[in-house]
Amino acid sequence: SNAATQQKPIHLAVSANFLATLKQISQKFTKQTGIPVYLSNGATGMLYAQIKRGAPYDLFFAADARRPELLEQAGLIEPNSRFTYVKGKLVVWSRTGYFSTDLAKLVVTSPQLRYFAIANPKSAPYGRAAKQVLEHYGLYRTLLKSHQLALGENVGKTFHYVATGNAQIGLLAKSYLMTHSVKGHFKDVDESLYSPIIQQAVVLKGKKSSEVQQFLDFFRSEAVQVQLQKAGYDLPQKGVK
């Protein structure tokens, strides 16, 4: 529309696991307001390093809370702009149907189980959570020792591992399974087994324009919140940062 051409576009840096969902949200937003939205996808660590060196993003949707916190400590964000936008949920996905989604019953030595896929605990928050779950069932060391643990660089790659049948079972973000029709079956993991996957967003220093505010308002709108839940995320409790 005519108005759209006069609006200043906004730049969102987004962690890979939230890319698909945010894309849908921002497309709706653009349709409604005419404000163009540019998405820059990347690993949270990389985006963090870029932001520290002046990357021209307005909003940063990280995969964890740690990087936003570090940015806040460094004074690189608008004061009080840090907020939890979703809480990630972990599911067990057994693609072949051979394995039960009950990890307690998993037989590591089963010849059908070649690989168990999780995200890399070192770099990905979903990986850290997955590791806690596996440790709870006493599987982590065993799988690691028998070289059956495939580590996706992020949840997205972990999803590809299972989706292409290269790994038979995996622990990954529920959002991936909600938004895509997939083979096999999956089940939520008991949330008490892993520390919460808090995904936070921040407005970067000096970027609090009216367009950014409009987007934030839109993001917090009822419709979007419902959409987030449908996409497999938990909503942050009111009041929690």
Contact string (CB under 8 A) for other proteins, positions 178-217, x = contact = -xx-------------------------------------
Q: Count CB-CB contacts under 10 A for residue 209.
A: 14
Classify each residue of 42-51 as buried b or exposed e, where b means 16 or more C-beta atoms within 10 Å of its C-beta.
Answer: bbbbebbebb
Classify each residue of 117-127 as buried b or exposed e, where b means 16 or more C-beta atoms within 10 Å of its C-beta.
Answer: bbbbbebbbbb
Least Cβ distance, residue 3 to other proteins (angstroms): 20
Classify each residue of 70-104 as buried b or exposed e, where b means 16 or more C-beta atoms within 10 Å of its C-beta.
Answer: ebbeeebbbeebbbbbbbbbbbbbbbeeebebebe
21/11 Cα distance (integer angstroms): 16
Least Cβ distance, residue 198 to other proteins (angstroms): 17
Least Cβ distance, residue 148 to other proteins (angstroms): 8
Q: Pick from 10, 26, 48, 93: which binds other proteins (CB under 8 A)?
A: 48
Instruction: Determine if 167 is a binding residue for other proteins (CB under 8 A).
Output: yes
Question: Which DSSP category does 59 fall into?
Answer: E
Strand pairing partners for 171?
Answer: 92
Least Cβ distance, residue 149 to other proteins (angstroms): 6
Instruction: Determine if 123 is a binding residue for other proteins (CB under 8 A).
Output: yes
Task: Pick the closer one to other proteins by CB: 58 or 234.
Answer: 58
Q: Where on the chain is the footprint of other proteins (CB under 8 A)?
A: 11, 16, 19-20, 23, 38-46, 48-50, 52-57, 70, 114-115, 117, 120, 122-124, 144, 147-153, 156-157, 159-161, 164-167, 176, 179-180
